[in-house]
Amino acid sequence: MNAFEGVLGSLLPILMTLGLGMLARRTGLLDEAGAGTLKKVVSRITLPFVIFQAFLTADYGTDMAVVFLVVAVLCLITFAAGFWIRKKARGMSPLLPYTVAGYEMGMLGYPLFMILVGAPYMGRFAKVDLGQVLFVFSLYLFMLRRQTGGEKSLKEALMDIIRNPVMVALALGLLLGVTGLAAGIMASPAGAQITSITGFVGAPTAALILLAIGFDFRPNPALLGPVMKALLVRLALAAVFGGLAVFLLFLFLPFDPYLLLAMIMMLILPAPFVLPVYSHNAQEKEFVSMYLSTSTMVTILLFAVLLVIKPLIIGA
């Protein structure tokens, strides 16, 4: 009963917040501009603090290089598989490779992983995130811009990435961690203050993004077929190649239950939420929007399963 109550205690706030987002849209409490503001608050204010703390406290031993390599190769393989399947299978979206590769670690992954394991273990998620975030902000976005005919030049796109508060927070935390300065900072009185500040500012991240996701969830029956095809392909690739990646990871590294949870959390996440930004025609935008909202709801369902099996993984 205690385990059941623990799962319910983690899951109910998520479902309630998603429901409140849907209700806010139906009642007019939130409009498109308001939901957009929520996302900006998360991406530019609260999330950078969460990511900075995660990378600041990550373990930067040889394990990091192994995890980085495995995750980066996983992203490249699923991306290539998306192009191959798009070529061979009929009725697939032109954006299929971008819907099956990459993971929305920032806006959704970090908040959910925080709920799953708590702040002390967020460094494991940062370790897993590094390989995929470099993939998304390099090859993935470069190819996506070519596919959709993005209007910004490569220089402008790079400047947007460099000025992105999430990337600044990641780079700063990574720099302090790799150089060893983080260990000294965290061992000093300043460490407790940094943890207090990042915890306080980052706390609303999950609730704000779940409200925005609930607001965005608008199923369109006409798009259900193409969306489900793309989603099933993504889940199949995640199961096959993700399972292989996990096997290889712990073939080279000692088993770490929290690192395993971080890998599973990544694999059940939807594609990067940046996709709609680069969708220019109405049909493409509608497909991407429904795909992301549907796959996000599937992520929540799989997250519920992860909450149930978590005690078996960590041995609690």
* Mean pLDDT, rounded, for 156-171: 78
* 8 Å CB contact between 182 and 57: yes
Q: How far apart are alpha carbons 248 and 100 in whole angstroms? A: 21
Q: Assess whether pLDDT exceeds 90 at residue 240.
A: yes
* Identity at 57, one-letter amino acid code: T
Residue range of the domain that includes 202: 2-314
* Identity at 181, one-letter amino acid code: L
In the chain, the number of structural domains is 1
Q: Look at 4-8, 46-50, 67-71, 252-256 and tell me which has the smallest mean pLDDT.
A: 4-8
Q: How far apart are alpha carbons 181 and 194 in whole angstroms? A: 14
Q: How far apart are alpha carbons 130 and 69 in whole angstroms? A: 10
More confidently predicted of 4 and 220: 220
Q: How far apart are alpha carbons 175 and 130 in whole angstroms? A: 13
Tell which residue, 233, 227, 207, 241, has the closest CA to residue 289: 227
Q: Assess whether pLDDT exceeds 50 at residue 1.
A: no
pLDDT digits (tens, 9 = 90+) for 136-160: 888 888 888 777 665 555 566 667 6
Instruction: Give the torsion through C-alpha atoms of 161, 60, 67, 112, to 10 deg.
Output: -70
Query: What sign for the dihedral angle of Cα 58, 59, 62, 66?
Result: negative
Q: How far apart are alpha carbons 264 and 27 in whole angstroms? A: 36
pLDDT digits (tens, 9 = 90+) for 77-92: 999 999 999 988 877 7
Main-chain dihedrals φ then ψ at residue 53, nearest 5 degrees: -65, -40
3-state class (DSSP) for residue 261:
helix
CATH number at residue 14: 1.20.1530.20
Q: Taking all residues of the chain, what is their mean pLDDT, rounded to a whole number?
A: 86
Q: How far apart are alpha carbons 313 and 274 in whole angstroms? A: 32
pLDDT digits (tens, 9 = 90+) for 19-54: 898 899 899 998 988 888 888 888 889 988 988 988
Listed in sequence order, the residues at least 6 apart from 116 whose beta carbon sits closer than 8 Å to its beta carbon are 10, 261, 265, 303, 306, 307, 310
Instruction: Give the torsion through C-alpha atoms of 39, 229, 15, 282, to 10 deg.
Output: 40
Q: Look at 89-103, 178-192, 273-287, 295-309 and tell me which has the smallest mean pLDDT.
A: 273-287
The predicted structure's pLDDT at residue 282: 66
